A and B are shown apart, each in its own frame.
Chain A
C-alpha cells in the first residue's frame, strides 16, 4: 500500500495541518484572496463600462445583494431545479452509460485473466478505474452542457424571471446531476461487486493421493497434509483434522474451508478474496551499511523517491518504531504480534527467478537495547507478507524472553528492524510498508468507502462543470473542466514547477528545468534540465517572465483539486481499509468545492446579461 502522504486525524487536518496551515484556514484565505481579486477585476470592468462612480455603485450592489440572496436560498426552489436537472439528464440518455458499463463487464473476462498473482487486485483496480472514468465523463458532459443549453434554447429566460436566486440555479443542478450520478454509481457498484465475486469464485478438487498422514512423535494421528488440484491457475496446500475437515491454506490471496462428506472432501468457496486490512503505522528510519543512523536508505536510481533501500548482508537496517504496544494487539491470546510487511526487492544479480530473497526481522527494546535473535523470512517482490512475531522470543544471548514484557519499553515503544540477508540484493521500504495488523474491517463497508471517494470526485467535477458553464459555452466549459481535472491529477508536478526551489515547503518533489518558458527554451535548444542556462540578457528575460508565470501557477494550484489523492482504488485493490479520516476529509473538501462553486457560480450568473 503506497501512502505518499500521511493521513492526519480529522480535526488536526481541518485546523492545524501538517507543515502548512490547516485545511479550513487555508480555504478561508484562498476564498478571501479570490474574493478580493474578483472585486478588483469586477470593479475595473464596470468602471470601464459605466464610469468610476456608477461602476463602484454597481459592484457594491452586486456584492451586498449577493450575500443576501445566497442566504435566501430556498430548499423548495433548489429542489425543483434539481428535479429538472435529473429529468434533463434522463432525457439526455445517461442510461447509455450503464449500457456501456454492462458491455464492458461482459467482455472484461476476455482480457482480465485470473492467472495473475493477484487476480483480485487486477479485477478490482480495473473495474474501479473504469467506473471512475465513466462516471467522471458523465458528470462532465451533464454538468457542462446543461446551463449553456438553457441559454441556447432561452429557457433560462423563463427561469430567471421567477424569484429564483442565481445560486439556486447552480446548486440545483449540482444536486440534480449528483443524484443521477449517485444512482449510476450505485448500480455500477452492485454490478461490479457481483461481477468480481462471481468471476473469482472457484473451488478445487482435493488430490486424494497427495494426502499424507501427520503424526506426533508418539505416533498418534494428528491430521493430514496434502494439496488441491490446479484450478483457476493456482493450487493450495491443505491441512485436515483427524475428522478430515480442514482448510486449503492461503494462496493467491484467499483460502478455502474443506468439509468431509463421506469419503470425499468438499472444497468450499474462497474466503478473504476481498479484504479490508486495518494497519497501524509506525515511524521509519534507517541505518546505513556501517550501522549509523540515517533518515533514508540508499537510492537504487529509481526516479520515484517514495521508497529507499537497504543493501543486503550489511548492517543496513530499516527500523520502524511503534507506539502504544501491549498484549491487546494480539489476534489470539498468547500468539504474538500480528504484522504485515511489504518488501520491494531490487536485485543486482538475477539469482533464481521466482525464488524469494531471504531477509530477517528483529525486535528491539529502544530503552534497554535488548534485541531478539534474527527471525528469517522469505521476501517476494511487492507481496504483502502477513506474519506474526511470536510471543516468546530468543534474545541474542539465547535467553527466552516475552515480547510484550521484555521488548516493549516502559512508554510502550517497540522497534521492528528488517534486514536483507543476501549480498548484492536490496530491500526497499517506505513508512507504510511495515504495519501492525489490527483486526480486518468489513470489506463491504470498505467498498462503500471507496465508492464514496469516486462519488466525491464526481461531485467536484460536477460543481466545477456547472459553475464554469455559467460563464462559458458548453464545449469551452467542458475543455476548461477537463483541463482542471487533468491539472488536478498532476497537481504535484504543476505545483512543483510553480514553486521551483521552494519545493520542500510545499511538500512536493523538486522539478528540474525551471519555469514554463525556461523549459520551452531548453526543449528548443536541446539543453538538459540540470545545466544552468548561460547568463545573459535573454536568460534574465526568460526567468523574469517565468517568475510571473510561476506566481500565477501557484495561485491556480491553490484551487486545484488533488484528484490523484482522492482516488482510493488502490486501497480496495490491495485490500486495505480506507481510513475513516480520509473519507471525512474528502467529503469536507467536496463540500468546500460545492460551496465555492455555488458562490462563484452565483456571481457569474448574476453579472451575466442573460438575454445577450
Chain B
C-alpha cells in the first residue's frame, strides 16, 4: 500500500442486524474507495445512503460485516491510528456539563499531551473557532452553531493528518458555513486529508477535490468534481456583440466563425442536476453503477 493512500476500503460492507442476528438494513455494499494524502473527498448521498456508516466503519466505531477498512495502513479497529485522526460527528456528542475549556482540555489529555502544549493548543483552538467569549460556559448552554464549533475544535485538538467530518455545515448559519468551508480549505492547504460527508451539494462542490456519491449503500459515482460536472457532448458559447440577425443565424455564425468568439468550452451542469440524475437512474435500475455520460476519469479509484 503506497504511502500516499490514507484511507482504503476493500469491499467494505455493513449489514445492521437486530438482537437476534436477523438482517435489518444493508447499509453499505462492497465499497471500494481510496483517499489520498492531501485531498478533500466528499461523500455525497441522500438521507440513509450509508455516508455516516462509512465514516463509522473507517473509525472502527462499527465492525464491517465483510471487507475491511485500512487507515494509515492500519486496521480500522486499531486504536493507535486515532493519534492522527480528528472526527467531527453528525451531532456534537460532547459532555454537556463541561465548559469549552474543560472539554478541549479533556480531549487533549486523551492524546497524552503534556500540560504546556495542552494549554497552548486549547487556547489557540478556542480562539480559532471563535468561542473566546463563551469559553467558561457549559456546553448545555450553547447554541447549535456554537456546539458545532466546539465539536470542530475537539476534532482538531491533536493537529490530525486525517479529518473526518460528518455533515460539517449542518446547523451553521451562512457565515458559519462559509467559515467552515474556509477552514476545510485551509486544512487542505496545510496538507491534511479531509473526508467529509454531506447532502448539501453546494458545500461539497465548493471544497471537495473528489466526490463519491452513495445511494442505498452503493457507490454510484466517484471522480474529480471538475470532470464529473463537465458535460462532454455539449458546447457552450458565450458571445458578445451579436446582432439579432446573428442570433437568428446562430448556426451560421458558428460554422463561418463570424463575430467575436469570447469563450468556447464544455458547459458544466450543477451538482444538483448530476446528483438528481444519479439518484433517479439508480432508482430506475437498482444495483448498477449510474450511467451518466462523462469522459473517462483517470483519478477514479477503480
Measured CB to CB, the residues of A under 8 A from B are: 61, 65, 69, 74, 76-77, 79-81, 83-84, 87-88, 91, 153-166, 609-612
**Contacting A155 at CB < 8 Å: which of B61, B87, B93?**
B93
Chain B residues 38 to 67 lying within 8 A of chain A, measured CB to CB, are 56, 59-63
Q: Please tell me if the beta carbons of A610 and B61 are within 8 angstroms of each other in the complex.
A: yes
Q: Please tell me if the beta carbons of B94 and A155 are within 8 angstroms of each other in the complex.
A: yes
Count, A-B residue pairs, CB within 8 A: 80
Q: Please tell me if the beta carbons of B95 and A155 are within 8 angstroms of each other in the complex.
A: yes
CB distance from B16 to the nearest CB of A (A): 8
Q: Please tell me if the beta carbons of A69 and B79 are within 8 angstroms of each other in the complex.
A: yes
- 9 closest residue pairs by CB, A with B: A80-B109, A611-B61, A162-B110, A154-B93, A91-B97, A163-B82, A161-B87, A611-B56, A610-B61
Query: Chain A CB within 10 Å — which of B56, B61, B102 has the most?
Result: B61
Q: Collect the chain A residues with CB atoms within 8 Å of residue B80's CB.
A: 163
CB distance from A281 to the nearest CB of B (A): 51
Q: Please tell me if the beta carbons of B93 and A87 are within 8 angstroms of each other in the complex.
A: no
Q: Collect the chain B residues with CB atoms within 8 Å of residue A69's CB.
A: 79
Q: Please tell me if the beta carbons of A157 and B79 are within 8 angstroms of each other in the complex.
A: no
17 additional A-B residue pairs with CB within 8 Å, beyond A157-B89, A161-B82, A164-B79: A77-B109, A83-B106, A84-B95, A84-B98, A87-B98, A88-B95, A91-B97, A153-B93, A160-B60, A161-B60, A161-B85, A162-B107, A162-B110, A163-B79, A163-B80, A610-B62, A611-B61
Q: Please tell me if the beta carbons of A165 and B79 are within 8 angstroms of each other in the complex.
A: yes
CB distance from B86 to the nearest CB of A (A): 9
Q: Please tell me if the beta carbons of B61 and A161 are within 8 angstroms of each other in the complex.
A: yes
**In this assembly, does B260 line the interface, its C-beta being within 8 Å of a C-beta of chain A?**
no
* A65 touching B110 in the complex, CB below 8 Å, given contacts A157-B89, A611-B61: no
How far, in whole Å, are A609 and B18 apart by their CA atoms in the complex?
A: 13
Q: Collect the chain B residues with CB atoms within 8 Å of residue A158's CB.
A: 87, 89, 93-94, 107, 154
How far, in whole Å, are A87 and B111 apart by their CA atoms in the complex?
A: 20
How far, in whole Å, are A163 and B107 apart by their CA atoms in the complex?
A: 10
What residue in chain B is nearest A90 (Cβ atoms)?
B97
How far, in whole Å, are A157 and B164 apart by their CA atoms in the complex?
A: 13
How far, in whole Å, are A65 and B110 apart by their CA atoms in the complex?
A: 19
How far, in whole Å, are A410 and B62 apart by their CA atoms in the complex?
A: 75
How far, in whole Å, are A164 and B109 apart by their CA atoms in the complex?
A: 10
CB distance from A175 to the nearest CB of B (A): 14
Q: Collect the chain A residues with CB atoms within 8 Å of residue B89's CB.
A: 154, 157-158
How far, in whole Å, are A65 and B80 apart by their CA atoms in the complex?
A: 11
**In this assembly, does B132 line the interface, its C-beta being within 8 Å of a C-beta of chain A?**
no
Q: Please tell me if the beta carbons of B109 and A157 are within 8 angstroms of each other in the complex.
A: no
Q: Collect the chain B residues with CB atoms within 8 Å of residue A88's CB.
A: 95, 97
Q: Collect the chain A residues with CB atoms within 8 Å of residue B61's CB.
A: 157, 160-161, 609-611
**In this assembly, does B272 line the interface, its C-beta being within 8 Å of a C-beta of chain A?**
no
* A162 touching B95 in the complex, CB below 8 Å, given contacts A154-B89, A610-B61: no
Interface string of B70-88 (1 = CB under 8 A from A): 0000010011101101010
Q: Collect the chain B residues with CB atoms within 8 Å of residue A61's CB.
A: 75
Measured CB to CB, the residues of B under 8 A from A are: 56, 59-63, 75, 78-80, 82-83, 85, 87, 89, 91, 93-98, 102, 106-107, 109-112, 154, 158
CB distance from B152 to the nearest CB of A (A): 12
CB distance from A374 to the nearest CB of B (A): 72
Q: Collect the chain B residues with CB atoms within 8 Å of residue A153's CB.
A: 93, 96
Q: Collect the chain B residues with CB atoms within 8 Å of residue A80's CB.
A: 106, 109-110
How far, in whole Å, are A84 and B158 apart by their CA atoms in the complex?
A: 19
For this complex, 30 residue pairs linking A to B, each with C-beta atoms less than 8 Å apart, are A61-B75, A77-B109, A77-B112, A80-B106, A80-B109, A81-B110, A87-B95, A87-B97, A87-B102, A153-B96, A154-B93, A157-B87, A158-B154, A159-B110, A160-B79, A161-B59, A162-B82, A162-B107, A163-B79, A163-B82, A163-B111, A163-B112, A166-B79, A609-B61, A609-B62, A610-B62, A611-B56, A611-B61, A611-B62, A612-B62
How far, in whole Å, are A65 and B111 apart by their CA atoms in the complex?
A: 19
Q: Collect the chain A residues with CB atoms within 8 Å of residue B82's CB.
A: 161-164
How far, in whole Å, are A153 and B93 apart by their CA atoms in the complex?
A: 7
Q: Please tell me if the beta carbons of A162 and B111 are within 8 angstroms of each other in the complex.
A: yes
Q: Please tell me if the beta carbons of A74 and B112 are within 8 angstroms of each other in the complex.
A: yes
How far, in whole Å, are A153 and B63 apart by their CA atoms in the complex?
A: 20
How far, in whole Å, are A163 and B62 apart by their CA atoms in the complex?
A: 16
Q: Please tell me if the beta carbons of B78 and A77 are within 8 angstroms of each other in the complex.
A: no
How far, in whole Å, are A148 and B102 apart by their CA atoms in the complex?
A: 22
How far, in whole Å, are A84 and B108 apart by their CA atoms in the complex?
A: 13
CB distance from B155 to the nearest CB of A (A): 9
How far, in whole Å, are A612 and B19 apart by their CA atoms in the complex?
A: 11
Q: Collect the chain B residues with CB atoms within 8 Å of residue A65's CB.
A: 78
CB distance from A75 to the nearest CB of B (A): 9
Q: Please tell me if the beta carbons of B110 and A164 are within 8 angstroms of each other in the complex.
A: yes
CB distance from A502 to the nearest CB of B (A): 39
Q: Collect the chain B residues with CB atoms within 8 Å of residue A612's CB.
A: 62
Q: Collect the chain A residues with CB atoms within 8 Å of residue B102's CB.
A: 87
How far, in whole Å, are A420 and B111 apart by their CA atoms in the complex?
A: 73
Q: Collect the chain A residues with CB atoms within 8 Å of residue B154's CB.
A: 158
CB distance from B17 to the nearest CB of A (A): 9
Q: Please tell me if the beta carbons of B110 and A163 are within 8 angstroms of each other in the complex.
A: yes
What residue in chain B is nearest A76 (Cβ atoms)?
B112
What residue in chain A is nearest B109 (Cβ atoms)?
A80
Q: Collect the chain A residues with CB atoms within 8 Å of residue B91's CB.
A: 154
How far, in whole Å, are A87 and B94 apart by their CA atoms in the complex?
A: 14
Q: Please tell me if the beta carbons of B97 and A76 are within 8 angstroms of each other in the complex.
A: no
How far, in whole Å, are A364 and B3 apart by their CA atoms in the complex?
A: 89
* A157 touching B62 in the complex, CB below 8 Å, given contacts A74-B112, A163-B79: no
What residue in chain A is nearest B157 (Cβ atoms)?
A162
* A163 touching B87 in the complex, CB below 8 Å, given contacts A76-B109, A77-B109, A80-B106: no
Q: Please tell me if the beta carbons of A609 and B63 are within 8 angstroms of each other in the complex.
A: yes
How far, in whole Å, are A159 and B61 apart by their CA atoms in the complex?
A: 11
Q: Collect the chain A residues with CB atoms within 8 Å of residue B98's CB.
A: 84, 87
Q: Collect the chain B residues with CB atoms within 8 Å of residue A161's CB.
A: 59-61, 82, 85, 87
Q: Collect the chain B residues with CB atoms within 8 Å of residue A159's CB.
A: 110
Query: Chain B CB within 10 Å — which of A156, A163, A165 has the most?
Result: A163
CB distance from B257 to the nearest CB of A (A): 60
CB distance from B169 to the nearest CB of A (A): 19
How far, in whole Å, are A375 and B154 apart by their CA atoms in the complex?
A: 81
What residue in chain B is nearest A69 (Cβ atoms)?
B79
CB distance from B171 to the nearest CB of A (A): 16
